[in-house]
């Protein structure tokens, strides 16, 4: 036992790049070698999987079912299927407009975030002095600030800026909440750029902007993707600030704010609501499908630095 | 110009280096400005607003000193919400952290089907707060998933309107919190476990260590600090973000049975026209958050 504890402690950074360990395994994985207790482990985890999957399964089949079938045969996938729920969800909550609003805010905020964070990370990565460290620490402090606590003052700020009940305030506000993580992750990525590359670019007559654009940005693309995915998820899924700042006005509200109105309009029909949930999930799922591997790294990176 | 002593040259060089550093760091100014205006500004003004008497966003405000905090201490709703928040934290944190750690250990043994399990566990990450709440409206509805399931089992007497019932409403909120956060924590912990050198576990196995001891006597202490990070995230999420779940599932009801502190911040300000008062609650919440982070960080400090 003591010998095992003296093994070198793995550094934290390795966690973000999980590597596969070559290990000989019997069929059924490492658990197969242990005694009967393994059945408890299998049973426990699969019970958890069922509990995790049940609401999702229920959501998925309900979206395609008629209301009476949801009540009478809640778990059967063999009832007549219908797509009516999707049409109703679209029209009752004007989801089309809402999705466009969400897309507008998400893309706007995403562009602004990167426009602010990339130069900052570039400067921080090259700064060698104590001042740079201080600035970096200020951003790191941002992790500890729970944005929700400042909900009301943020509303007041939007009023003071004459941007209350507008989507533009969210485009301005959301990048601030994403700034700490984006700047820190990008700084770390840019610090890994070899100094020789920059020197040779400078020798060729490149100015700072050119160095940033032609040397640093291309090399930071993997991290840029990671932060872009993380920010996309948090911007697209933002609920509370959109609710109180943009408000319930049907032409301006986001998809996440429009979605709950379906539950009020259809108190006794889960089908339409379920269809609405699936519709608002599609963009996130598309991103997940395309970037599955990257996305898991993104969520991990977010946690590791948090 | 006369020759300068080496000290002065060094000083000048340091100064000019400092100046060039400042010039370089000016690129961080826009990002810092954003951070200052939209994050620090609202946070600082929070403390001021907690000391005013203020009935609505457009109503005039009058200074109230610490009156709001005094009122807070004697408000039964606030105490009820504090109790609910503590209950939520005390139930959620151990279940999620310990449960997620065990699932992560299991996943890392790469048993059959672990890829499928991992993909499924990722789904709650994609759900927004409102989508999450809407999923569970169907689950807890009087004719929803749980009651439908109980009916199939022949246990109709256990069926109830889960969210409308004072006894089960808070339980329902806690279930939602656990459901959506356990899987994310498990995925993060699995990645951390994966970075532990496999030879550590092999050595333990040769020494006759079962999985149970390998999990709690080796893996847990080695991941201690990261478990702390996961606990911290879970703590913050439970404390703050569950307000949306409460708002959308129960609106704090029935009565005030599911009101939590973060829900009260919203409810006082936007539904009850007590803006100043709600900010006093927000200050309390913020302090609880900071203290909680410090306590968790201390408790999970790496021990070797």
Closest in A38, A237, A263 to B134, CB measured: A263
Q: Which pLDDT value is given to residue A193?
A: 86
CB B127 to CB A15 under 8 A? Answer: no
Q: Which pLDDT value is given to residue A183?
A: 92
User: Do residues B142 and A61 lie in contact, with contact meaning Cβ atoms separated by under 8 Å?
Assistant: no
Tokens of B259: 């009101």
Top-confidence residue, B165 or B172: B172
Using the structure block, give the residue that is written with the tokens 């008062």.
Answer: B277
Q: Does A8 touch chain B (CB under 8 A)?
A: yes
Measure Cα distances from B151 to A73, A74, B130, B142 in Å: 11, 10, 28, 12
Q: Does A4 touch chain B (CB under 8 A)?
A: yes
Helices (H), A127-220: 130-141, 151-160, 167-191, 195-203, 208-211, 217-219
Q: Does A77 touch chain B (CB under 8 A)?
A: no
DSSP letter for each residue of B118-162: HHHHHHHHH--HHHHHHHHHHHHSTTSHHHHHHHHHT-GGG---T
Hey, which residues does B63 pair with through a beta bridge?
A: B52
CB B135 to CB A59 under 8 A? Answer: yes
Q: How far is CA B280 from the centre of its chain?
A: 20
CB A296 to CB B130 under 8 A? Answer: no
Closest in A51, A124, A129 to B28, CB measured: A124
Mean pLDDT of B142-170: 86
Question: What is the C-alpha separation between A284 and A234, in angstroms, rounded?
Answer: 10
Residues with Cβ < 8 Å from B10, sequence gap 6 or more?
Answer: none
Top-confidence residue, A186 or A68: A186
Residues with Cβ < 8 Å from B114, sequence gap 6 or more?
Answer: A29, B107
Confidence tier at A82 by pLDDT (50, 70, 90): confident
Nearest alpha-carbon partner for A301 in A234, A187, A223, A220:
A223
CB A277 to CB B134 under 8 A? Answer: yes
Mean pLDDT of B101-106: 92
pLDDT at A302 > cutoff 70: no
Tokens of B62: 């009058």
- B220-236 and B275-299 helices, crossing angle to 10°: 180
Confidence tier at A145 by pLDDT (50, 70, 90): confident
CB A132 to CB B25 under 8 A? Answer: yes
Q: State what percent of residues in chain A have pLDDT above 70.
A: 83
Looking from the CA of A299 toward its CB, the CA atoms found within 13 Å total 26
- How would you classify the pairing of strands B61-63 and B52-54? antiparallel
Tokens of A218: 């291309």
Q: Which pLDDT value is given to residue A199?
A: 86
User: Do residues B154 and B92 lie in contact, with contact meaning Cβ atoms separated by under 8 Å?
Assistant: no
Collapsing DSSP to helix, strand or coil, A115 comes out as: helix
pTM: 0.85
CB A179 to CB B133 under 8 A? Answer: no
Nearest chain B Cα to A137, which residue?
A: B32
Q: How far is A127 from chain B (nearest CA, A)?
A: 6
Convert B166-180 to b/e letters by CB count within 10 Å (16 or more is b).
eebbbebbbbbbbbb
pLDDT at A12 > cutoff 60: no
Q: How far is B67 from chain A (nearest CA, A)?
A: 19
Mean pLDDT of A277-293: 86
Whole-number mean pLDDT of chain B? 86
Nearest chain A Cα to B240, which residue?
A: A148
Closest in A10, A257, A273 to B197, CB measured: A10
- Tell me which DSSP letter residue B63 carries: E
Nearest chain A Cα to B184, which residue?
A: A299
pLDDT tens digits for range A151-180: 889 998 998 899 999 999 999 999 998 998
Q: How far is B39 from chain A (nearest CA, A)?
A: 6
Collapsing DSSP to helix, strand or coil, B264 comes out as: helix
CB neighbours of residue A271 within 10 Å: 25
DSSP letter for each residue of A56-111: HHHHHHHHTS-HHHHHHSTT-TTSPP-SHHHHHHHHHTTHHHHHHHHHHHHHHHHH
Tokens of B16: 């000019």
CB B149 to CB A10 under 8 A? Answer: no
Q: Does A153 touch chain B (CB under 8 A)?
A: yes
Using the structure block, give the residue that is written with the tokens 């900052």.
Answer: A120
Q: State what percent of residues in chain B have pLDDT above 90.
A: 31
Mean pLDDT of B260-272: 90
Using the structure block, give the residue that is written with the tokens 């008497």.
Answer: B53
Hey, which residues does B62 pair with through a beta bridge?
A: B53
ipTM above threshold 0.90: no
CB neighbours of residue B119 within 10 Å: 12
pLDDT at A11 > cutoff 50: no
Report, in this order, helix, strand and coil percent for chain B, each rounded to 5: 75, 0, 20
Tokens of A199: 């020197």
Top-confidence residue, A140 or A102: A102
pLDDT at B45 > cutoff 60: yes
Nearest chain A Cα to B28, which residue?
A: A120
pLDDT tens digits for range A190-239: 988 888 888 888 888 888 888 888 888 888 888 898 889 889 989 999 99
Nearest alpha-carbon partner for B126 in A291, A87, A221, A178:
A291
Closest in A7, A144, A153 to B200, CB measured: A7
In chain A, residues with a C-beta closer than 8 Å to the C-beta of B210 are: 34, 37
**A213, exposed or middle or buried, with CB in 10 Å at 0-12, 13-18, 19+?**
middle
Question: What is the C-alpha separation between A130 and A134, in angstroms, rounded?
Answer: 6
CB neighbours of residue B203 within 10 Å: 16
Confidence tier at A35 by pLDDT (50, 70, 90): low
Within chain B, strands assigned E span: 52-54, 61-63
Mean pLDDT of B152-170: 86
pLDDT at A86 > cutoff 50: yes
pLDDT at B253 > cutoff 80: no
pLDDT at A14 > cutoff 60: no
- Select from B131, B269, B282 the residue whose CB has the most chain A CBs within 10 Å, as the one to mutate to test that interface: B131
Q: Does A192 touch chain B (CB under 8 A)?
A: no
Q: State what percent of residues in chain A have pLDDT above 90.
A: 28
Confidence tier at B222 by pLDDT (50, 70, 90): confident
pLDDT at A8 > cutoff 50: no
User: Do residues A223 and A183 lie in contact, with contact meaning Cβ atoms separated by under 8 Å?
Assistant: no
Residues with Cβ < 8 Å from A18, sequence gap 6 or more?
Answer: B191, B194, B195
Nearest alpha-carbon partner for B236 in B74, B88, B82, B38:
B88
Phi-psi region of A10 (alpha: psi -120 to 50; beta: other; left: phi over 0): beta
Mean pLDDT of A8-22: 40
Question: What is the C-alpha separation between B173 and B246, in angstroms, rounded?
Answer: 7
Measure Cα distances from B71 to A129, B50, B255, B268, B281 in Å: 49, 12, 20, 13, 11
Q: Which pLDDT value is given to residue A21?
A: 42
CB B111 to CB A10 under 8 A? Answer: no
Confidence tier at A27 by pLDDT (50, 70, 90): very low
CB neighbours of residue B23 within 10 Å: 11
pLDDT at A142 > cutoff 90: no
Question: What is the C-alpha separation between B198 and B179, in angstroms, rounded?
Answer: 30
Tokens of A73: 């045969």
Q: Which pLDDT value is given to residue A10?
A: 40
pLDDT at B1 > cutoff 70: no
Q: Which pLDDT value is given to residue B281?
A: 92
Q: Which pLDDT value is given to residue A267?
A: 65
Q: Which pLDDT value is given to residue A52?
A: 92
């Amino acid at each position: 036992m003591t010998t095992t504890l003296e093994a070198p402690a793995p550094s934290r950074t390795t966690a973000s790049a999980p590597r596969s360990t070559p290990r000989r395994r019997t069929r059924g994985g490492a658990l197969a070698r242990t005694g009967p207790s393994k059945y408890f482990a299998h049973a426990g985890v699969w019970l958890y999987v069922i509990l995790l999957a049940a609401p999702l399964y229920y959501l998925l089949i309900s979206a395609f079912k008629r209301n009476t079938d949801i009540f009478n045969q809640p778990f059967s996938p063999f009832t007549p299927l219908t797509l009516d729920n999707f049409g109703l969800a679209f029209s009752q909550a004007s989801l089309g407009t809402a999705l466009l609003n969400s897309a507008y805010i998400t893309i706007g905020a995403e562009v602004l975030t990167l426009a602010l964070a990339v130069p900052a990370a570039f400067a921080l990565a090259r700064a060698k002095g104590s001042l740079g460290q201080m600035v970096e620490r200020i951003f790191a402090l941002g992790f500890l600030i729970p944005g929700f606590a400042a909900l009301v003052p943020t509303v007041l700020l939007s009023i003071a800026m004459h941007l209350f009940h507008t989507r533009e305030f969210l485009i301005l506000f959301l990048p601030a909440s994403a700034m700490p993580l984006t700047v820190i992750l990008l700084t770390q990525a840019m610090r890994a750029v070899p100094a020789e590359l920059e020197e040779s670019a400078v020798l060729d007559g490149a100015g700072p902007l050119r160095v940033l654009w032609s040397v640093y940005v291309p090399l930071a693309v993997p991290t840029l993707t990671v932060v872009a995915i993380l920010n996309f998820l948090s911007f697209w899924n933002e609920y509370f600030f959109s609710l109180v700042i943009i408000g319930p006005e049907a032409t301006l509200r986001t998809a996440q704010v429009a979605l709950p109105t379906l539950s009020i309009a259809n108190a006794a029909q889960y089908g339409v609501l379920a269809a609405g949930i699936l519709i608002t999930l599609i963009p996130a799922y598309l991103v997940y499908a395309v970037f599955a591997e990257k996305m898991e790294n993104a969520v991990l990176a977010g946690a590791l630095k948090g | 110009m006369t020759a300068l002593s080496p000290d002065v040259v060094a000083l000048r060089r340091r100064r000019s280096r400092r100046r060039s550093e400042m010039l370089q760091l000016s690129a961080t100014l826009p990002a810092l400005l954003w951070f200052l205006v939209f994050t620090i500004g609202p946070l600082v003004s929070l403390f001021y607003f907690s000391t005013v008497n203020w009935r609505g966003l457009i109503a005039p405000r009058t200074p109230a000193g610490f009156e709001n905090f005094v009122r807070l201490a004697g408000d039964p709703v606030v105490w009820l919400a504090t109790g609910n928040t503590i209950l939520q934290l005390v139930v959620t944190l151990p279940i999620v952290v310990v449960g997620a750690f065990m699932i992560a250990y299991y996943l890392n043994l790469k048993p059959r089907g672990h890829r499928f399990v991992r993909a499924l566990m990722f789904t709650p990450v994609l759900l927004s707060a409102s989508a999450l709440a809407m999923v569970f409206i169907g689950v807890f509805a009087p004719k929803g998933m749980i009651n439908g399931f109980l009916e199939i089992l022949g246990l109709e007497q256990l069926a109830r309107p889960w969210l409308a019932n004072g006894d089960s409403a808070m339980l329902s909120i806690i279930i939602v919190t656990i459901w959506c956060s356990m899987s994310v924590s498990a995925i993060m912990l699995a990645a951390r476990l994966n970075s532990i050198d496999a030879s550590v576990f092999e050595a333990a196995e040769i020494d006759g260590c079962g999985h149970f001891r390998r999990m709690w006597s080796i893996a847990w202490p080695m991941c201690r600090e990261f478990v702390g990070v996961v606990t911290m995230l879970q703590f913050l999420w439970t404390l703050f973000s569950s307000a949306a779940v409460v708002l959308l599932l129960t609106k704090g009801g029935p009565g005030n049975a599911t009101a939590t502190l973060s829900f009260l911040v919203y409810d006082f300000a936007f539904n009850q026209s007590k803006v100043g008062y709600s900010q006093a609650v927000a200050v309390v919440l913020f302090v609880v958050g900071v203290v909680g982070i410090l306590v968790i960080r201390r408790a999970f400090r790496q021990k070797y």
